[in-house]
Amino acid sequence: MAEPTRVAINGITGQMGQTLVETASERDDVTVVCGFDTPDAIDTAGTIPQYTPDEIAGALEERTPDIVIDFSVPEATMELADACAEADVGLVIGTTGFQDGDLASLQEVSSVVPVLKATNFSRGIQALLNALGPAIETLEGYDIEVLETHHNRKRDAPSGTAKTILEEIAAYREFDTVPGRDGIQPREESEVGMLVRRAGDVRGEHEIMLAGNDEVLTLTHRAEDRAVFAAGALDAAVWVDGNDPGWYSFEDVVSS
């Protein structure tokens, strides 16, 4: 049996970080060797060694993880990526809300170490994306609307997954994104509505509606537990471990 992939978690005290720890504890193919978070969030009483951002470089050398899984904020991810490149440690990124310049910098890091970035680590979302293209081709000219719902603490809007859905639609149709509607605003043929809701503790819901010809097709995905995303991120870490430097997606994991 192969040695388990040694994983570090950036944002370890957050909800996703803690879910990753719990999910990893139930698996034989990964082991969490350390975590990183802000000084005010560090849990010194925990059983997993935790370090502040200023200590990441030393911790990567001391704890020798194979892969770092990142669920934090863009600013923290960028600092982490530089440290991973220096330490020759692979990176799995689940953080969203990056600017174009940030993505370009991350892609530069992928020339040194393997980097897998995904807006969503759910296999169900990947299945939805795979089904979307054929639906658009079959229902040519149908109106398309996208609706996403997340918990009331989510920072970025629309969600990274919703943006990925829009990118997939763009592969099949030219359109203008309309972020909600207000007042007198009749629908134009060349638009896709992007609607956002924030409420409660919703883990993540994404709905795509295609309507026309007196019929409606709806593609919907709902995550009922964060463990869905944690399992996918850990699958990604195991898959990335040992891979050559490069820019990878969760689709690479699912299709392998």
| Model pLDDT for residues 60-90, shown as the tens digit of each residue | 999 999 999 999 999 999 999 999 999 999 9
Task: Give ranges for CATH 3.40.50.720 in the chain.
Answer: 5-121+226-255
Predicted local distance difference test score (pLDDT) of residue 67? 98
Helices 123-138 and 160-170: angle between axes, nearest 10 degrees: 30
Predicted local distance difference test score (pLDDT) of residue 215? 98
pLDDT digit string, tens, across residues 134-177: 999 999 999 999 999 999 999 899 999 999 999 999 999 999 99
Predicted local distance difference test score (pLDDT) of residue 129? 96
More confident residue, 201 or 45: 201
CATH-assigned architecture of domain 123-223: 2-Layer Sandwich (3.30)
User: Which sign does the torsion angle of CA 180, 75, 119, 252 carry?
Assistant: positive
- Residue 227 pLDDT greater than 90, yes or no: yes
Query: pLDDT category, 56, cuts 50, 70, 90?
Result: very high
Percentage above 90 pLDDT, the chain: 90
Are the C-beta atoms of 207 and 218 separated by less than 8 Å?
A: yes
Q: Which residues fall within 8 angstroms of residue 253, CB to CB, at 6 or more apart? A: 116, 232, 235, 236, 239
Predicted local distance difference test score (pLDDT) of residue 49? 95
The answer to whether residue 163 is catalytic is no
Query: pLDDT category, 117, cuts 50, 70, 90?
Result: very high
Per-residue DSSP letters for 162-183?
A: HHHHHHHHHTT---EEE----S
Helix (H) or strand (E) run with residue 69 in it? strand 67-70
Predicted local distance difference test score (pLDDT) of residue 41? 87
Query: pLDDT category, 1, cuts 50, 70, 90?
Result: low
Predicted local distance difference test score (pLDDT) of residue 229? 96
Query: Residues 98-125: what's their mean pLDDT?
Result: 95
Catalytic residue among 117, 150, 206, 221: 150
The answer to whether residue 154 is catalytic is yes
Whether pTM exceeds 0.85: yes
Task: Give ranges for CATH 3.30.360.10 in the chain.
Answer: 123-223
The span from the CA of 126 to the CA of 252, in Å, is 10
Are the C-beta atoms of 7 and 237 separated by less than 8 Å?
A: yes
Query: Residues 179-198: what's their mean pLDDT?
Result: 92
Structural class in CATH, domain 5-121+226-255: alpha beta
User: Which residues share a beta bridge with 117?
Assistant: 93
Helix (H) or strand (E) run with residue 126 in it? helix 123-138
Percentage above 70 pLDDT, the chain: 99
Strands 176-178 and 5-10, bridge-based pairing: unpaired
Mean pLDDT score of the chain:
95
Predicted local distance difference test score (pLDDT) of residue 232? 98
Token pair, residue 65, equals 């993880």
User: Which residues share a beta bridge with 68?
Assistant: 8, 91
